[in-house]
Structure 1
């Protein structure tokens, strides 16, 4: 497994864990009724910024720890190199992420226009589509590194 594949795998696992924690956190608020009323929007906004900030910190720490552990176990150091193929894979992955998120955003606006869900839940739906887009982008990138093109 190449360093790029490991990096994508660690990113995928970190994303899944962070969103799992966020989902569990938001489910608790929803069950407690904390998302009802005008404070619900503020709670969603604060929780989202905590998710983003925490996600960045956790991702950096996990990548560093994984690199250190991998170097200790294999007794080998691989320098970080990105070539044109890596940039192409990043661009293809980013296209998929933007496509999936744009679709999710349009679905969320349609749900809001049809008054199917409460506006607070539509914000959570947008965050959910951000998560799904990131996971699909990482899976596509992993597929490309495994010999997809």
Structure 2
């Protein structure tokens, strides 16, 4: 298995793991018994804003661990040069990410239009972030396995 495939799988597992842990953390702190007030909006806004840095920090730690363990196991460094195939795979993976994000974004924006609670909009956005990250990693792994 190539380094890029390992990186995609580690990123996918990391995305799913941190998302589940963060979801449990958010669920425990959700203000129950309060109708849709500014407090609930404040809660969801903070939850979404905190989710991105948590994901970034966790991914950086995972990539460092992957590099260290991969170097110890294979005695090879991370490839520093990205060729045209790497760039093309990255572009196609990001394209898939953008498609999924746009679908999720429009679903989230459409939720209040069909009289769903505003919390549903934030939940859809949060789930969209997780699914987009998974689609990005799965696409990269698929394209590295299959080829372009």
Which whole-Å CA distance do the structure 2 matches of 1:5 and 1:35 have between them? Answer: 46
Matches within 5 A, 1:19-98: 19-30=19-30, 33=32, 36=35, 37-98=37-98
User: Could you tell me whether the CA contact under 8 Å between 1:89 and 1:141 is conserved in 2?
Assistant: yes
Aligned equivalent of 1:141? 140
Aligned equivalent of 2:126? 127
Cα displacement string for residues 39-97 of structure 1 (whole angstroms, at most 9, x for unaligned residues) = 11111222222221121111111101111012112223343221111111111111111
User: Could you tell me whether the CA contact under 8 Å between 2:67 and 2:78 is conserved in 1?
Assistant: no
The count of corresponding residues between Structure 1 and Structure 2 is: 147
**Unmatched runs of 5 consecutive residues or more in structure 2:** none
Which whole-Å CA distance do the structure 1 matches of 2:76 and 2:140 have between them? Answer: 24
Normalised TM-score (structure 1): 0.88
Normalised TM-score (structure 2): 0.89
**Unmatched runs of 5 consecutive residues or more in structure 1:** none
Pair 82,35 (structure 1): closer, same or farther in 2 beyond 3 Å? farther
Matched position secondary structure for 1:112: coil
RMSD across aligned positions (CA): 1.8
**Deviant stretches of 4+, over 4 Å:** none
Deviation at 1:35, TM superposition (A): 6.8
